[in-house]
Structure 1
Amino acid sequence: MSTINIQNLTFGYDAQNELLFDHVQLYLDSSWHLGLVGRNGRGKTTFLKLLQNQLDYQGSIDMPMSTQYFPQVVSDPTQLTLYVAQSISDIEQWELERELSLLHVDLDVVWRPFEELSGGEQTKVLLALLFTNADDFALIDEPTTHLDIAGRQQVADYLKRKSGFIVISHDQGFLDQVTDHILAIDRAKISLYQGNYSTYRDDKERQDQYEIAENGKLKKEIGRLKHTAAEKAKWSTAREGDKYGDRHVKGSGAINNTGFIGARAARVMQKRKNLEHRMDKDIESKSQLLKNIETPADLTLNYIPDHHHNLIHLDQFTLGYTHSLFEPIDLDVNRGDRVALTGINGVGKSTLFKHLLGQAAPITSGTLTQAKVIQSLVRQQYPDNRGTLADFATARGLDYSQFLNNLRKLGMARNAFTTPIESLSMGQQKKVELAASLSQPANLYFWDEPLNYLDTYNQDQLVQLLNQEAPTMIFIEHDQHFIESVATKVITLQPINPR
């Protein structure tokens, strides 16, 4: 067991006006299963880079062990998987196979080209590499991407048996299983919690509710103080008028009372200043607390309910190219249904999507009936999203104001609005694809893994939106929490030849 000692860590990118980290003090136990959470752009991946000494910073980081980062860079994916692994880490074949067995991966993958492995197999190979050397400390960045539900569970079971690590993930259920501490990068501070993600979320909600309640009290107090200050200022001004304005009025007594009135007015003015100073300190104190409250705005959906009751009907339907990919299914997609399409990687979920969208023509059997409706799609890959946001919106026929509004609500920084889409981060590119679908008029939505690269706040926004608007939708997603929160029907594709 070792301690990662961080003192006065200060860092910010030159292009940004604000620091990501400002005099941060942390003591982290290397035996912890530490989850690193926070909104996109708050510095989670940057924090891992700082721990690896890849960026210049102020302060000190005492890292008493060597680190290994996931995902590793694969320079030549055409090589056999074993040679790819040995080019990244000095390991023996048996060491890699030992870890792959724990991850339920067929050992023949080591003799297949890395580029021919499925996304899930590639993920597991790279994760296995992290733990071939017990002396290294693992820094794991988004390990659940490309993993189906079964694969995520296998990785969760694997990590639960391992020594300490830091993991970034936006899968709340996954974090609940693999973490015993949470490090949260919030708006105004970094906070450490003992427990899993649910513990952090519950504590954060209680803290936010307390601060919101305190803010309500503060507003009332501010109103009372302002009223009192205004009344006393009015009295003070009037007394000064008595002192000087009426001093020559016969019988007024003003000359004899000017000293008394002036002294009293001065005391009132000083009291007023003290009240204002106290009020300013209260405002500053509470505003610092409220900076830490995350209040994502409500998204908007350009959903147009269609007059059809039944939009898609499948009866003993299956498809494939050389053979059927999955067992025949029955499905009715009615107006207002949100259908989750699940199954292992490679079972044909995306192929079924493409067929329903008219983008693929595999061999089919069974009955398929579709109503002619306006469709909207969120894709896993979107390399054709390029150029400026304005040109992109024009090409898609989007309302530019609504499109930008949804991007802002998803947390897209305004300084990214002038950046070409292809130069944006993966999370920002995902938000462009998602905001386009939200802003496009549609009767039926097809969303293929919409949560990839989105933080938990964005996920909560989508859950609230979909439950509120109740659009007709078919979606592919491996996040069990999202499925349980949104889906009205779940269809699991069963492979013809289970692997």
Structure 2
Amino acid sequence: MATITLSHLTFGYDGQTELFHDVSFDLDLSWHLGLVGRNGRGKTTLLELMQGQHDYAGKISVPTKLRYFPQPIQDETQLTLYAMQEASTAEQWQLERELNLMHGDPDILWRPFNLLSGGEQTKVRLALLFAEEDGFALIDEPTNHLDAASRELIADYLKTKPGFIVISHDRTFLDAITDHTLAIDKQAITLYAGNYSVYAQERERQNEYERAENAKLKRDIGRLKQSSRAKHDWSLSREGDIHGDPHVKGSGGTGHAGFVTARAARLMKKSKVLEHRMDKAIAGKSQLLKNIEDVPELTINTSPDHHDVYVHVEDFTLSYDGQPLFAPVTFDVRRGERVALAGPNGIGKSSLLHALQGTFTGTLTGTLACPPSLTRSLSRQLYADNTGTIAAFAEAHHLNYQDLLNNLKKLGLERLAFTTPIERLSAGQQKKVELAKSLVTPANLLVWDEPLNYLDLYNQDQLAASLLKSQPTMLFVEHDQAFIDRVATKVITLSPAANP
């Protein structure tokens, strides 16, 4: 079977540490391959290298045409059909065929692309990706902004397609569609036969082995250092035998060679050799295994309010122009609860969070109440107003700069990003800034809208573990079912409003 072959690939951006060094592997074009790894490790860059977008050392052999998602759209204001045809030679009937296969609405082709929802834009771009049957698909994060039902539909759709490479931070999605996994880890790139769960299990076994080896090495280092100190002291004593101490009577401390005995010189030489060997052994042992991912606990600056009920919602709905977004809903968010809002895209989950903040522009019906003293910290879906350097951003938002910096470091933000304007950072880096801002903002209640977008799987685990440890009160929207199952203490599902 045909393969994409990488031979002795070496690549790094100017002024930065190499992303890949002397990397070689083969990827079968029949595989449904999941490409995983922490943000900044080079997943998207690897897809770009395959497409010839960067200069590199080594060789990449691609025996077929490559097709990439998401495709660039030149004019997002034009009708979707024309925007798609501008990016491809696909015919209308081919796009409609693919949309039908993923249970999408072909009528979206006749609406302006920029007026489509995020989920609709994803579906039409995937339809474009597979409308033409030649070539091999490279799919970069297709699940952002998709609700759980849409993710299942896209997964069912992709399972029927020929080989592809997909980057995703949704482990349930990866498990459903992949049969091989290429992992860009801390110090190695490894290919696994199996989906993400197979990789994760093998990875954890490797981590346990490395932790045990590191513990053993640290004990060995401790013993060697103790022995080295003893050898060093002995070496000094041998030097004293040779040169003596001029301040001690009878020590032979004149420094003349005539006072050096042959036996003392041999002992000193032996002690120096032993000391050198000990230092060399310590240096060797100190090279601990470093492929374990460091995922430290995040600092969450929440404190409980004295009220038992933080948010009271009763017979509540939202509407635009008299059309309700969802059926009336009743629930409370109590102190210590982490409440997830669930429901399909477009039903009004984010709008309910906006209503809580007083920023919803439509009509509110029913009761939505919070104690006047309640303070909230937001993590939003859209944050184009986050600009300037991290230091200037912290000052503008009255945040503790050191606390913000510490959380950003724990989230894995690269050092170069600290002095780069936020608006010039990658999507994943910008997401970390928005999330870190919320984490360090003093508050009683966290209000988060799709916090996992653009976060890698390690950051997702880190965030979940930190929330479970800190136990803040939360109201949040998220489509990743694994995260909801792990974090939420209660799930409120919004249902479509009954037809009038």
1:119 counterpart residue number: 118
1:210 counterpart residue number: 209
The 1:263/1:148 distance shift into structure 2, 3 A limit, reads same
Counterpart Cα distance in 2 of 1:484 and 1:249: 77
Counterpart Cα distance in 1 of 2:404 and 2:212: 34
Local SS of the residue matching 2:484: helix
Please tell me whether the aligned partners of residues 102 and 153 of structure 2 are also in contact (alpha carbons under 8 angstroms).
yes
Question: Could you tell me how far 1:316 is from its partner in structure 2?
Answer: 2.1
TM-score normalised to the size of structure 1?
A: 0.92
The equivalences for 1:240-259 within 5 A come to 241-242=240-241, 258-259=261-262
1:437 counterpart residue number: 438
The 1:214/1:98 distance shift into structure 2, 3 A limit, reads same
Provide Cα deviations, 1:415-465, integer angstroms capped at 9, x if missing partner.
211222211111111111111111111111211111111111211121112
1:488 counterpart residue number: 489
1:195 counterpart residue number: 194
Q: Tell me, which stretches of 5 or more residues in structure 2 are unaligned? A: 253-257
Deviates more, 1:413-422 or 1:235-244: 235-244
Please tell me whether the aligned partners of residues 301 and 439 of structure 2 are also in contact (alpha carbons under 8 angstroms).
yes
1:388 counterpart residue number: 389
Question: Could you tell me how far 1:93 is from its partner in structure 2?
Answer: 2.1
User: Is 1:276 equivalent to 2:275 in the alignment?
Assistant: no
The 1:279/1:69 distance shift into structure 2, 3 A limit, reads same
Counterpart Cα distance in 2 of 1:243 and 1:369: 86
Provide Cα deviations, 1:80-113, integer angstroms capped at 9, x if missing partner.
2222222112122222222111110112222222
Deviates more, 1:121-130 or 1:234-243: 234-243
Counterpart Cα distance in 1 of 2:404 and 2:272: 52
The 1:315/1:234 distance shift into structure 2, 3 A limit, reads closer
Question: Could you tell me how far 1:275 is from its partner in structure 2?
Answer: 3.8
Counterpart of 2:426, as a letter, is S
Question: Could you tell me how far 1:281 is from its partner in structure 2?
Answer: 2.6
2:156 counterpart residue number: 157
2:468 counterpart residue number: 467
Local SS of the residue matching 1:79: coil
Deviates more, 1:446-455 or 1:405-414: 405-414
Counterpart Cα distance in 1 of 2:413 and 2:334: 34
2:426 counterpart residue number: 425
Counterpart Cα distance in 1 of 2:184 and 2:498: 45
Question: Could you tell me how far 1:268 is from its partner in structure 2?
Answer: 4.9
The 1:239/1:168 distance shift into structure 2, 3 A limit, reads same
Provide Cα deviations, 1:337-388, integer angstroms capped at 9, x if missing partner.
1111011111111111111111125333333332221111111111211223
Please tell me whether the aligned partners of residues 378 and 446 of structure 2 are also in contact (alpha carbons under 8 angstroms).
yes
Question: Could you tell me how far 1:476 is from its partner in structure 2?
Answer: 0.6
Please tell me whether the aligned partners of residues 38 and 456 of structure 2 are also in contact (alpha carbons under 8 angstroms).
yes
Counterpart of 2:27, as a letter, is L
Counterpart Cα distance in 2 of 1:269 and 1:362: 82
Counterpart of 2:391, as a letter, is A
The equivalences for 1:396-415 within 5 A come to 396-415=397-416
The 1:451/1:262 distance shift into structure 2, 3 A limit, reads same
Counterpart of 1:282, as a letter, is K
Counterpart of 2:183, as a letter, is A
Question: Could you tell me how far 1:263 is from its partner in structure 2?
Answer: 4.2
Counterpart of 1:94, as a letter, is W
Counterpart Cα distance in 2 of 1:70 and 1:485: 30
The 1:249/1:73 distance shift into structure 2, 3 A limit, reads closer
1:298 counterpart residue number: 297
Counterpart Cα distance in 2 of 1:122 and 1:73: 12
The 1:281/1:391 distance shift into structure 2, 3 A limit, reads closer
Question: Could you tell me how far 1:233 is from its partner in structure 2?
Answer: 4.1
Please tell me whether the aligned partners of residues 421 and 429 of structure 1 are also in contact (alpha carbons under 8 angstroms).
yes
The 1:134/1:269 distance shift into structure 2, 3 A limit, reads same
Provide Cα deviations, 1:6-42, integer angstroms capped at 9, x if missing partner.
11111111132x1111111111111111111111111
Aligned length: 488
Question: Could you tell me how far 1:396 is from its partner in structure 2?
Answer: 1.7
Q: How large is the Cα RMSD of the aligned pairs?
A: 2.3
Please tell me whether the aligned partners of residues 305 and 444 of structure 2 are also in contact (alpha carbons under 8 angstroms).
yes
Deviates more, 1:6-15 or 1:201-210: 201-210
Question: Could you tell me how far 1:272 is from its partner in structure 2?
Answer: 4.0
Question: Could you tell me how far 1:200 is from its partner in structure 2?
Answer: 1.4
The 1:82/1:266 distance shift into structure 2, 3 A limit, reads same
Local SS of the residue matching 2:324: coil
2:325 counterpart residue number: 325
Counterpart of 2:301, as a letter, is N
Question: Could you tell me how far 1:333 is from its partner in structure 2?
Answer: 1.0
Please tell me whether the aligned partners of residues 69 and 139 of structure 1 are also in contact (alpha carbons under 8 angstroms).
yes
Counterpart Cα distance in 1 of 2:349 and 2:244: 87
The 1:63/1:262 distance shift into structure 2, 3 A limit, reads same
Local SS of the residue matching 1:147: coil
The equivalences for 1:98-109 within 5 A come to 98-109=97-108
Counterpart of 2:281, as a letter, is R
Question: Could you tell me how far 1:236 is from its partner in structure 2?
Answer: 4.6
The 1:249/1:394 distance shift into structure 2, 3 A limit, reads closer
Counterpart Cα distance in 1 of 2:125 and 2:368: 40
2:454 counterpart residue number: 453
Counterpart of 1:300, as a letter, is T
Question: Could you tell me how far 1:329 is from its partner in structure 2?
Answer: 1.1
2:255 counterpart residue number: none
1:345 counterpart residue number: 345
Please tell me whether the aligned partners of residues 355 and 362 of structure 1 are also in contact (alpha carbons under 8 angstroms).
no
Please tell me whether the aligned partners of residues 96 and 132 of structure 1 are also in contact (alpha carbons under 8 angstroms).
yes
Counterpart Cα distance in 1 of 2:44 and 2:36: 10
1:54 counterpart residue number: 53
TM-score normalised to the size of structure 2?
A: 0.92
Counterpart of 1:157, as a letter, is D
Provide Cα deviations, 1:260-293, integer angstroms capped at 9, x if missing partner.
5644554454344334333323333x3xx22x22
Deviates more, 1:426-435 or 1:484-493: 426-435
The 1:270/1:387 distance shift into structure 2, 3 A limit, reads closer
Counterpart of 1:355, as a letter, is A
Please tell me whether the aligned partners of residues 68 and 139 of structure 1 are also in contact (alpha carbons under 8 angstroms).
yes
